[in-house]
Structure formats: structure tokens, C-alpha cells
Amino acid sequence: MNTFAWVTQLLYVAAAVCFVLGLHLMNSPATARRGNQVSTAGMALAIATTFALVVHAGTVTTTGWIVMIAGVLVGAGAGLYSARTVQMTAMPQLVSLFNAVGGGAAALVAVHDYVRLTGAALITPCSLPAAMIDPEKVTAPMSTSRIVVIVVDSGTPAAAPVSRT
């Protein structure tokens, strides 16, 4: 293991320690603010480490950088707006929404890794269970107005079009 990889792993462990310590500090109202600060520092460390890793690998194209920067700006803007405008009585719902978005991001990473590791065709989250059964029978044409998932098994569609409204 080279020095860069070793330092990267060490920084990821330090970020994880910050998350755990931050959660522990959030158990008490007296230390909750410090817990948020420690968790924020851990996330900043994890993001900076990932950024350094991506730059070091040099595998992201200019278009990829533009998409990532746009995603960060849109996500940060939406998160900041919602965090500042939500009423305190609706805070549990906001936290739930943030957790759901994080879970959705994790699911997208899992789908990406599944496709990358198995060499499967384009798969949408709607067709993932069918792809796990038989990935060779799945096709997923996409358009901007709807996602259509068709499993080519006995010639009948397994799922109807899902409209995004």
C-alpha cells in the first residue's frame, strides 16, 4: 500500500470517528451543538478526502466535473433553503426527508455498482428486482417524460410506464 492510499484510509477512519463522536455528543442538549460541529467536520474531511482521491486518480472528465459541481450547488442550495425556512415544529419531517435523500443516494450507488460489476444493461431502480432474477431479460428505455421498464419474458410487460409528475 503506497503512502497516498494509506493516508486516504486514515482520513476516512478519522471522518468515521468524527461521525460517531458527533452522534454521541448529540445525546445531550448541552453538547448537541458541539456534536453537530464535530459531525460537520467529519463530513468536510470525508468530502475533501474523496475530492483528493478523485483528482489523484484523474478519471473524471470535464463534463463529469460540471455535473458534480452543478449537483453540489443545487443540493446545497435546496438544503440550505429548506433548513432555514422550515418551522421548528416540522423539523422531524425535514430530518426524515434528508435521511430519505441520503438513502436514495446510497441506493443509486448500489445500482451503479451492481451494473458495473455484473456488466448488466441499463437498469432503473424500478427494474432492479427483476434484474436480480435474470439480468439478461431486462431492458430499460428512458425518456425525459417517463421511465418504461419491460421484462422480455413471454412478450408481456412486467411494469407499466411510470409517469413523473
| Domain residue spans of the chain | 1-58, 60-119, 122-165
Confidence of residue 30 (pLDDT cuts 50, 70, 90): very high
Q: Locate 138 and state its grid cell.
A: 431486462
In this model, does residue 159 exceed pLDDT 80? no
pLDDT for res 111: 85
Query: What is the spatial distance between Cα 26 and Cα 9, in angstroms, rounded to a whole number?
Result: 26
Per-residue pLDDT tens over the stretch 137-146: 444 443 333 3
pTM score over 0.75: no
Query: What is the spatial distance between Cα 38 and Cα 32, in angstroms, rounded to a whole number?
Result: 10
CB atoms under 10 Å from CB of 26, counted, come to 16
Per-residue pLDDT tens over the stretch 107-118: 988 888 888 888
